[in-house]
């Protein structure tokens, strides 16, 4: 399988509950390497733009409100099949439906506050990485 990059976010609940390290440990144990990272406070406009595909959904307003409720940790993960692998490590959107051992099953409290975001396909990964990082801010890992 090809080496891919994907965009990951530890959401405000994960940062606020001091779970950054727990989440990063799970990425690293799955063979996903952090190749760029930044903590930041999203503006309302940034959150609306980032989750723009969901603009028409009933949960959009609450989703944006939640995503700007505190700082987030944004990272690019690199590895073999990184996009699907990260989704596996994250677990299903609804923590009640997520497999045991996944971030969302083990750590999340509800579908609204589900700790992490991860890109869902190659095209969205490319778009989402470019949303947050310049190419020069990404550090390819040789080892």
Which residues ranging from 61 to 100 are in contact with ligand ATP (CB under 6 A)? 63, 93
Q: Smallest gap, in angstroms, from Cβ of residue 72 to ligand ATP? A: 11
Q: Smallest gap, in angstroms, from Cβ of residue 43 to ligand ATP? A: 18
Applying CB under 6 A, does 120 fall inside the site for ligand ATP?
Answer: yes
Identify whether 54 is a catalytic site residue.
no
- Looking at beta carbons only, is 54 or 65 nearer to ligand ATP? 54
Pick from 38, 41, 49, 59 the residue near ligand ATP by CB under 6 A.
59
- Residue 79 tokens read as 């590895």
The residue range among 21-29, 78-86, 116-124, 126-134 that interacts with ligand ATP, by the rule CB under 6 A, is: 116-124
Cα four-point dihedral sign 5, 106, 143, 9: positive
Applying CB under 6 A, does 131 fall inside the site for ligand ATP?
Answer: no
Catalytic residue among 35, 90, 117, 129: 117
Applying CB under 6 A, does 49 fall inside the site for ligand ATP?
Answer: no
Three-state SS across the chain?
CCEEEEEEEECHHHHHCCCHHHHHHHHHHCCCEEEEEEEECCCHHHHHHHCHHHCCCCCHHHHHHHHCCCCEEEEEEEEECHHHHHHHHHCCCCHHHCCCCCHHHHHCCCCCCCCEEECCCHHHHHHHHHHHCCHHHCCCCCC
Pick from 69, 112, 126, 138 the residue near ligand ATP by CB under 6 A.
112
- Residue 20 tokens read as 């950054």
Q: What are the residues binding ligand ATP (CB under 6 A)?
A: 54, 59, 63, 93, 111-112, 114, 117-118, 120
């Amino acid at each position: 399988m090809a080496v891919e990059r994907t965009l990951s976010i530890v959401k405000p609940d994960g940062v606020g509950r001091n779970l950054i390290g727990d989440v990063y440990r799970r990425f690293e144990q799955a063979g996903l390497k952090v190749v760029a990272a930044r903590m930041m406070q999203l503006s309302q406009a940034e959150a609306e733009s980032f989750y723009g595909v969901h603009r028409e959904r009933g949960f959009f307003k609450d989703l944006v409100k939640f995503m700007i409720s505190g700082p987030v940790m944004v990272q690019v993960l690199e590895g073999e099949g990184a996009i699907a692998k990260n989704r596996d490590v994250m677990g299903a959107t609804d923590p009640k439906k997520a497999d045991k051992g996944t971030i969302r099953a083990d750590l999340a409290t509800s579908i609204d506050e589900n700790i992490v975001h991860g890109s869902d396909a190659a095209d969205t990964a490319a778009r989402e990485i470019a949303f947050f990082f310049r190419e020069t801010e990404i550090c390819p890992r040789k080892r």
